[in-house]
Chains A and B, each alone.
Chain A
Amino acid sequence: EVQLVESGGGVVRPGGSLRLSCAASGFTFDDYGMSWVRQAPGKGLEWVSGINWNGGSTAYADSVKGRFTISRDNAKNSLFLQMISLRAEDTAFYHCARETSLAAAGYMDVWGKGTTVTVSS
């Protein structure tokens, strides 16, 4: 079964750091790009970051550029999101998603259930 399982969420103070992980199974991980998408409480979807199959190309939303770093370990079928200088507005449910291509024409065809990040003092 194709599956993505996120972990690492929690409660953190403003200015703090957190590292999210996403474990992939059921498919050849390094055949695909990957993305992180978040959803603040009661709000819509916001794409956060994406990475190509070998980690050689990454992209970020303007709202997180310079604070978040996406990476992957293909040997461990894992995706990561290192988040620093967290702000209240980063509070959201974070999903990882399989991205068919980080170049044009990609789409996110498999999604994890997500992990919650709460930034609060």
Chain B
Amino acid sequence: DIQMTQSPSSLSASVGNRVTITCRASQSIYRYLNWYQQKPGKAPNLVIYAASSLQSGVPSRFSGSGSGTDFTLTISSLQPEDFATYYCQQSYSTPRTFGQGTKVEIK
């Protein structure tokens, strides 16, 4: 199975800050990498698919990049509604696997 490792596990940031989360796969997954946002008590919400494609309805301050084994999710200017946990997930093969999550907290 492909292992997905995110860093950091948590971070504290202020509104307006630029935030970057990284995700590393245990083998090349080309660009088959998705990012999800989850708020407490809610279902996950797709943010980025295929490494860099913005899901419809998601603000343009979110962006994704990377290929192969290393990927990043960037929030260009953190807003109050962005405080949540973010998960990467590979869709290169089954079983699908998620990273352990990165909790973005208010500083």
Interface residues of A (CB under 8 A from B): 35, 37, 44-47, 50, 59-62, 95, 97, 101-102, 104-109, 111-114
A105 to B85, CA, bound (A): 23
Answer whether A46 and B1 are a contact pair too, CB < 8 Å, given A95-B43, A104-B91, A107-B50: no
Segment at the interface with A among B19-27, B71-79, B96-104: B96-104
A59 close to B94 (CB less than 8 A): yes
Indicate if the CB atoms of B91 and A44 lie closer than 8 Å. Answer: no
Interface residues on B, range: 20 to 34
**B43 partner, pick from A61, A101, A111, beta carbons under 8 A:** A111
Tell whether, in the assembled complex, residue A104 and residue B34 are in contact, meaning their CB atoms are under 8 Å apart.
no
* Least CB distance, B17 to chain A, in whole angstroms: 24
Instruction: Let me know if B67 is at the binding interface, CB within 8 A.
Output: no
> Which of A37, A60, A101, A112 counts the most B-chain CB atoms under 10 A from its CB?
A37
Interface residue? B38 (CB, 8 A): yes
Contact of A59 among B44, B46, B50, B95 (CB under 8 A): B95
For residue A45, which residue of chain B has the nearest CB? B98
- B30 contacts across to A, CB distance below 8 A: 104
The B contact surface, by secondary structure, is loop
A47 contact set on B, CB distance < 8 A: 89, 95-98
Contact B92 A104 (CB under 8 A): yes
A sample of 5 inter-chain contacts (CB < 8 A) reads: A45-B98, A50-B96, A104-B92, A106-B91, A113-B43
Q: Chain B interface (Cβ within 8 Å of chain A)? A: 1, 30, 32, 34, 36, 38, 42-46, 49-50, 55, 85, 87, 89, 91-101
Contacts of A109 in B (CB 8 A): 46, 49, 55
Q: Is the CB of A45 within 8 A of B95?
A: no
Query: Is the beta-carbon distance between A60 and B95 smaller than 8 angstroms?
Result: yes
Known contacts A95-B44, A111-B45; 6 further A-B pairs (Cβ under 8 A): A45-B38, A45-B44, A104-B30, A107-B46, A107-B89, A111-B44
Compute how far the CA of A46 lies from the CA of B101 in the bound complex, rounded to whole angstroms.
11
Chain A contacts for B1, CB-based, 8 A: 62
